[in-house]
Every structure is written in structure tokens, then in C-alpha cells.
Chains A and B, each alone.
Chain A
Amino acid sequence: MAVKFEKKEEGVYTLDVTGYVCPHPQLYTKKALEKLQSGEILEVVFDNPSSSESISAMCDSNGNEIIEKQMEGGKFTFKIKKA
């Protein structure tokens, strides 16, 4: 397991931090969002439950919009649109 950051399609990137515990998922999400352009989408995949609240609160505070939240079998996928 290692952190995976990939370009999925034009303007859409995937950050997979499955297996990581706090604070890694939220820190990697913050760092990845800092690199994206306004309007681009970041899909974050993680399985650490407490990171879901932290990432949501971080996006709310920075003005980034979470356009989709999925949770299945303990795995979370958040689609975040950079402000």
C-alpha cells in the first residue's frame, strides 16, 4: 500500500489513500487540492472513518465543494471540486 495520485481524465484526478490512518488522508487531500486548478475535481478514496469529518470540514472551511460522497463497505469516495 502506498499513496496513489493519478490523472483520471482532463481536469479529474484520483487520490487513493486507502489503508492510511489519521492524519495522512486529510493531509494528502489538502496537499493534492493545493496543486489543482480552480474547477478541477479530486476524487479521494480512503477507509479511515474519522477522516471523513475532517475532510468535509476542511473543504467547507476552504470553500471547496464536495459534489459527491459515497460510502460502501467501509470505503469512502469523496468528489471534491476545487474553488
Chain B
Amino acid sequence: METVSKKNRNWAFAIVGFFVLVSIVSYGFHEYYVYLQAYLWFGFIYGMCLQYGRFCFASAFRDLFAVGVPRMVVGIMIATVLFGFTSAFVNATGWSTFHPAPTSIHAMIAGVFFGVGMVFAGGCASGSLYKTGEGNGVSLMVILSISVTQAIFVDVGGFFNNFVPQSWKESALQKGLPPSINVADGWIDQYLAGYVWNQPVLRFAEMLGMKTDSIKGAFIGNLFIGVVIPALLLLIWVYLFWVKKNVVRKVEKEGRSVTLADHIQGFWGMIAASKRTALAGLFLGIACGLQMFVIEGLRMKFGVKNAGTILARLGFDYGLSAKGTVFDPGYWYVTTQEAQWVGWTLHKIFGWNFMDNIFFGWVNGIPNPAFNPADWMSVALIGGAAVMALLHNEFKFKKPTKELAIWAIIGGFFMGIGSRLALGCNVGAFFVRTAQGDPSGWLFGIGMIGGAYIGVKFFNWWTERKMAKEMAGLELEL
């Protein structure tokens, strides 16, 4: 194994030192900054885990369809179950910061957009963040594309109002939103207030007549029925379609017929092959659950329900929503804060009014990125991934080429659209929701798998075409 160079080690120390310095200096200003620091250090842990486990949802379904490798999808399912376990514990105590999303077909449609996008881009929303930490310029472009697309998409109105069904418009107008939001102008506004908000909000525990904050509801309803069973079914599907044939081939090579014991061993082999991703998933799961505890504890300590109150008390009231709130999920999230910093930048530089839509103006706000808790989490996530990459000699600056830049922009665009339609990305709309027993997470996941399949079909054609050109003239059978 290659030893870590002194230069890499120094850079890793410098990054950690920077975050430590930010934490100490900000605490010196006011103890309220502990709230932002909690986001920062959990983000740092997420970044390290993601880079170590190569934890990428795009890779999970894309590699399965493209090259028949189930490693990542298995790892992600294990991580989801482990996170489900820690979540059940947090839910049972009543300290969870999670709010389930409305469940309907919109989540699946959004998943298709997102799935196509993540294959084109070469990484999902969280995968692109950690790969940026590896020095990958293409991934940075993906993040930029997701961010800009989201910010603009949530604000489009005018001509696009023609594509809003009348029933959505009428329903949105009845929601009693303040005039500053101008709900009748904006496709996403009317989609949210006129359609999504009318859909049922439920969890598996409640569907089965249990309470989420009871031990039975958290562990049996949400964890066992809502997470373990669907994850197991998905893993069995992966085994039957991708792994079983290899097991059968190996056993038949030994000159004997396949038994149930061989299949059980093969299934376990499939699980064990994802050790690195599963290990990362274990720490991710623990960290995700712990973050909910810590943030809820800090909210109680400071007597707040949302970071908007903390920012206002610190004197930063610019960009707070009409309710005085900012985006403050209390757990791991990726895309909303990316849209926020674009919204803030365009608002500040070009005077673009982003506060007249539900996404920014009513719910998330556009606080200064320097004081946005979720932005602290994303920046630290990149830093954590960079430290892990440096310590494994895997950090390398890579400039995006024209071809990859085009894919990054197209992929980021589709992921941005999918994220806003689903109210979250592969983390917020899939990983977190499924682990909490929210059925909309699985709907998004099914759509994401379908989208990945479409994306892979396209890339197979693209790669075949390029390889044929490259191999022309060589003595190979084409």
C-alpha cells in the first residue's frame, strides 16, 4: 500500500485545522454558533464516510444495470437498514427532527428525472459533493448545475403558468398564503400548494395503526415493515437477477448441482462483498441518527424551533422566510442549501426577487451562505471527503473536459428538476425518508431505479459508438 505523502498529510491537517479554527472563533462570538458547528462537524463525518465507502447512489443502480455489479446497491441497502435502526431508536424517544413528505405518484415521477440525471452526471447529489472533495472538477460542475436549476425552477412563472391545471391553481389560492408569495404566479408554487400539500402524509407505523413515537411503531411499523422487508425484497431481486447466475456457474464448475445452502452462501457473499460501503453506511447511519438527537437537544437548549430564530437573534435577519424560518432539517440533507446559495447570490447581485415563491419565501429563505447551517454542513462534507481522499492518496485535481462538462450540466439539470419535484434528492427524498418509514421514499427510489435504467441504456449506446470509432483499424471483431 502506498504511504501517505507529507504534502497530503499537511493538507489534511490544514483542512481539519481550518474547521477547528472556524468553530473556536465563531464560538468566541456567541455560543449560538454551536448550532452551526453541529451541522459542520456532522457534515465532515458524512464526507469522510462517503469517500471511504465510495457511497454513491448513481453508482448503485447504474453499475448494476451497466456492468452487472451489485456491490453499491447492496451497500446502500445495508446502510439504509442501519440508519433505519438508529432512526427507530430516535423516533421511539420522540426526539426525531424528521417530517414525512406527502406521498403520491409525484415522488416516483421525480425519481425518474433524478435517476436519468445522476447517470448522465456520473454521480448523485451527495456523490457529487464528496467527489468534489476528491478534486473532481466535473462533480463541482454537477453541483453548480443542480443548484442553478433548482433556484430557477422554483421561481419560474409567467408563460409556465399556462401548464398549471386549473384545479391546482384553485386549490393553491385557498391555502391562505401571504400576498408576498403571489401563489398564482409560479409553476412550482401551484404544484406544491395546489397538489403536493393535498396528498396524504403518512408512515408505515401510522398506516398499520401504530404511533411512530412508540417502541412498537418505531421498530415494528417503521423499521421492520417499512425498511427491513422492502430492503430485503430488493436484495433478493438483485440476487436473483444478477448474482445467482454467477453462483450457479461456480457450483457447476465444481461438478455438482446447486442447493439451497449454496444460494444462502451466495446471498451472504453478496452482502459481505460490500464490506467497505456497509462499514461507511454503519457510521453514516449512526451519525445521521445522532445528528437528530444533537440538533433537537440544541433547539431545546436555546429555546428555538428553527435556526431562523437563532440567526435573527445574532442579527442576521436578511433572507429569512415570511415565517421567520430558514432551511434547518436537523438531519443530513444536500440539495436545498445548494439552491439557497444560488438564490442568495442572484438576489444580491442581480436583484432577482426569489422571496415571492413558496420554496424560498415561505419555507427555506435565502440566508447569507456564510451563516446558513445547512451550507456549513455541505462545505464541511466536501472538506471531510478531501481529508479522507488525501489520506488515501486519492486526491487529484481534475479539470472538466468539454464532453464531461456537457454531461455534468445536463445531468445536474435533470437532478435539479427531480429534487424540487420530490422535495429532496437521493439523500433527503430517498435515504432519509426510507429509513424513517416514509413510503414516499420508496416511491422516489422506484422512480430513481427506472430513471437509472433509461440513463444506462443511453450510455451503453453512446459508449458502444465511441469504442467502435476508437477500435476502427485494429484487428478486432467489431
A residues bordering B, Cβ < 8 Å?
Answer: 1-5, 7, 19-24, 26-28, 30-32, 35-36, 47-50, 53-54, 57-58, 61-63, 71-75
| Interface assignment of B276: CB less than 8 Å from any CB of chain A | yes
With contact pairs A27-B459, A54-B67, A74-B396 given, residues A5 and B474 touching in the complex (Cβ less than 8 Å): yes
Name the contact of A22 in the complex, choosing from B122, B389, B395, B471 (C-beta under 8 A).
B122
Say yes or no: B246 contacts A61, CB within 8 Å.
yes
Q: 9 closest A-B pairs (Cβ-Cβ)?
A: A74-B396, A50-B54, A21-B122, A57-B69, A5-B470, A49-B394, A58-B67, A31-B467, A27-B463
Within 8 A of A (CB), among B1-15: 2
Say yes or no: A53 contacts B398, CB within 8 Å.
no
Name the contact of B394 in the complex, choosing from A4, A21, A74 (C-beta under 8 A).
A74
Say yes or no: A54 contacts B63, CB within 8 Å.
yes
| Interface assignment of B139: CB less than 8 Å from any CB of chain A | yes
The smallest C-beta distance from A6 to any residue of chain B, in angstroms, reads 8
| Interface assignment of B355: CB less than 8 Å from any CB of chain A | no
Chain A residues with Cβ under 8 A from B119's Cβ? 23
Q: Which residue of A lies closest to B63 (CB)?
A: A54
Q: Which residue of B lies closest to A76 (CB)?
A: B394
Q: Which residue of A lies closest to B5 (CB)?
A: A73
The smallest C-beta distance from B246 to any residue of chain A, in angstroms, reads 6
Say yes or no: A54 contacts B389, CB within 8 Å.
no
With contact pairs A22-B59, A54-B67, A58-B67 given, residues A31 and B476 touching in the complex (Cβ less than 8 Å): no
Name the contact of B54 in the complex, choosing from A3, A53, A71 (C-beta under 8 A).
A53
How many residues of chain B are within 8 Å of chain A by beta carbon?
50
9-residue interface stretch from B32-40, B130-138, B202-210, B301-309: B130-138
Chain A residues with Cβ under 8 A from B396's Cβ? 47, 73-75
Cα(A21)–Cα(B130), bound, Å: 13
Cα(A55)–Cα(B403), bound, Å: 22
Q: Chain B's interface: helix, strand, loop or mixed, by majority? A: helix
Say yes or no: B460 contacts A27, CB within 8 Å.
yes
The smallest C-beta distance from B139 to any residue of chain A, in angstroms, reads 7
Say yes or no: A71 contacts B66, CB within 8 Å.
no
Say yes or no: A23 contacts B389, CB within 8 Å.
no
Say yes or no: A61 contacts B460, CB within 8 Å.
no
Cα(A51)–Cα(B68), bound, Å: 14
Chain A residues with Cβ under 8 A from B474's Cβ? 5, 7
Say yes or no: A22 contacts B62, CB within 8 Å.
yes
> Given contacts A23-B58, A23-B63, could you give 20 more A-B pairs where the C-beta distance is less than 8 Å?
A21-B122, A21-B123, A21-B398, A23-B59, A24-B122, A26-B63, A27-B66, A27-B459, A28-B463, A31-B463, A31-B467, A47-B398, A49-B54, A53-B54, A54-B67, A54-B69, A54-B71, A58-B67, A62-B68, A74-B394
Cα(A21)–Cα(B86), bound, Å: 33
Chain A residues with Cβ under 8 A from B460's Cβ? 27
With contact pairs A22-B123, A23-B63, A32-B467 given, residues A73 and B393 touching in the complex (Cβ less than 8 Å): yes
